[in-house]
A = this chain, B = another copy of it.
Amino acid sequence: MTIEDSTQVAVERSNSIKASKSHSSTQLTTSSSNATIYDVASRAGVSIATVSRVLNGYSQMKPTTRDLVVAAMRDLRFVPNNSARGLSSGTKMVLGMVFLHAEAIDPGLEVEDDTLLFTDAVIRGAEEEASKNGYALLLGGVGNARLTETLDRMYSNCDGVILLDRTVPDRSVPTIAKRLPTVLLAGNGKSRSAATIRVDNEEPMKQLANHLISVHGYQNIAFMAGIRTSPDSIARENSFREEVAHLGGAVEVDRLWESSYTTSGAIAAVEARLKIDRAMPQAIVCANDQSAVGVIYALEHHGFKVPQDVAVTGFDDISLSRRITPSLTTVRQPFQELGKAAVDVLIKICQGEIRGGAGSRVLPTKVIYRSSCGCTDVTESRVEKFMRGRG
């Protein structure tokens, strides 16, 4: 390429630039289209490179020049086009969050209002953390068989992606992680290809086992699983069983004890169990609060008193667990913090501060002792319960 060629090209681009400039300016008067850095540059009497520098907080600039540009930006209400930035720089400042639609969580069953509490809270936490760091959060709900499209949407729009538990089969994770920085939320923590953020399921379940056996003296206990393939459910059940065995108690083994994590699922499970055997265990430990509520409802319906006849515990500490009678002994899990932690780690991975596998974190949980386990119920009104339960 000769100098002349180069010059020709320059002329050419100058022409298009001019065209572009006047075009934008014209449209501004009209309505929708936005000002570009060309508009800002010409108004400030500088080159687009200078405008770009201001945009990106480049430090070695003459303050007066910067002020000029900033003023022009303000006057034109300039907002940079993120598609262009993304194309040019390769970073889109957008993170993706892939989750399961209700229909996909519990196919065939009617969806309960509370089924997605977990998802909702995580999303909010994630959004807050993302926006605090200048990132936007893109939602990717996965319904029946829409996984591919959703993932593609993530690939084409995001710098990184958070996958909620069970949205993606384990074997696909490495493929995804190869394309995009990936964080797993509440998975089994066994992926070597992506960081996993999860809560401590083990410790509180051991505490609970200890409490039920040592404090209340229960011997026969059942564990109501959520979904048998769910890592959280599995972890909770295993830790609980281990500790009970360790303490010489017994946990009933029966495939009936599975709730789909839902109230109605738990009701159905208890009723199925009653058909086989009218005798109930002394305590039923549930993989989540929704199903604990179902267990309480069903027991009551069939003449059992909770906790006098059967004790019940949950996991999550959703707001209902403080409002139900008897109030629910459960494990508090920091939903929003999960979302925040996932974003935090994901951003670090995107920025190359840490490498994929190294970002895993386990967030602490806390057993909350209320009435349903047999601990004395303070006789207080619902107002008092409610006020005390906050925060």
Which residues of the other chain, B, contact A9 by a CB distance below 8 angstroms? 8-9, 12
Contact A141–B112 (Cβ < 8 Å) = no
Bound-state Cα–Cα, A94 to B83, Å:
11
Residue of A1, A267, A323 with highest tally of chain B CB at under 10 A = A323
* A302 vs chain B, min Cβ distance (A): 9
* A310 vs chain B, min Cβ distance (A): 15
- Asked if A324 CB lies within 8 Å of chain B CBs, one says yes
- Asked if A391 CB lies within 8 Å of chain B CBs, one says yes
Contact B382–A297 (Cβ < 8 Å) = yes
Chain A, 77-106, contact with B by CB distance < 8 Å: what is the 0/1 string?
001111111110000101000000110000
- Given A4-B8, A320-B323, A390-B264, CB of A156 within 8 Å of CB of B31: no
- Given A94-B138, A124-B116, A320-B320, CB of A83 within 8 Å of CB of B79: no
- Asked if A251 CB lies within 8 Å of chain B CBs, one says no
- Given A32-B178, A156-B79, CB of A381 within 8 Å of CB of B297: yes
Which residues of the other chain, B, contact A318 by a CB distance below 8 angstroms? 113
Residue of A94, A139, A149, A386 with highest tally of chain B CB at under 10 A = A139
Which of B1, B83, B110, B137 contacts A83 (CB under 8 A)? Answer: B83
Contact A128–B155 (Cβ < 8 Å) = no
Residue on B nearest A11 in the bound complex, by CB? B5
The interface size of chain A toward B, counting residues with CB under 8 Å, comes to 77
- Asked if A387 CB lies within 8 Å of chain B CBs, one says yes
Bound-state Cα–Cα, A137 to B143, Å:
15
- Asked if A263 CB lies within 8 Å of chain B CBs, one says yes
Which of B116, B136, B179, B294 contacts A120 (CB under 8 A)? Answer: B116
The copy count of this chain in the complex is 2
* A20 vs chain B, min Cβ distance (A): 12
Bound-state Cα–Cα, A83 to B149, Å:
17
Contact B139–A179 (Cβ < 8 Å) = no
- Given A12-B5, A34-B179, A110-B390, CB of A123 within 8 Å of CB of B139: yes
Would you list the 9 A-B pairs with minimal beta carbon distance, nearest first? A83-B86, A113-B319, A120-B120, A82-B156, A301-B383, A83-B87, A8-B8, A301-B381, A297-B382
Q: Which residues from chain A sit less than 8 Å from chain B, CB to CB?
A: 1, 4-6, 8-9, 11-12, 15, 31-32, 34, 79-87, 92, 94, 101-102, 110, 112-114, 116, 120, 123-124, 127-128, 131, 136-141, 143, 146, 149-150, 152-153, 155-157, 178-180, 263-264, 267, 294, 296-298, 300-301, 318-320, 323-325, 381-384, 386-387, 390-391
Task: Return 26 A-B CB contacts under 8 Å, by A number.
Answer: A4-B8, A5-B11, A32-B179, A80-B156, A82-B86, A83-B84, A83-B85, A83-B86, A84-B87, A85-B156, A101-B124, A112-B319, A123-B139, A127-B141, A128-B143, A131-B140, A131-B149, A136-B139, A136-B153, A136-B157, A297-B381, A297-B382, A297-B383, A300-B381, A301-B383, A325-B325
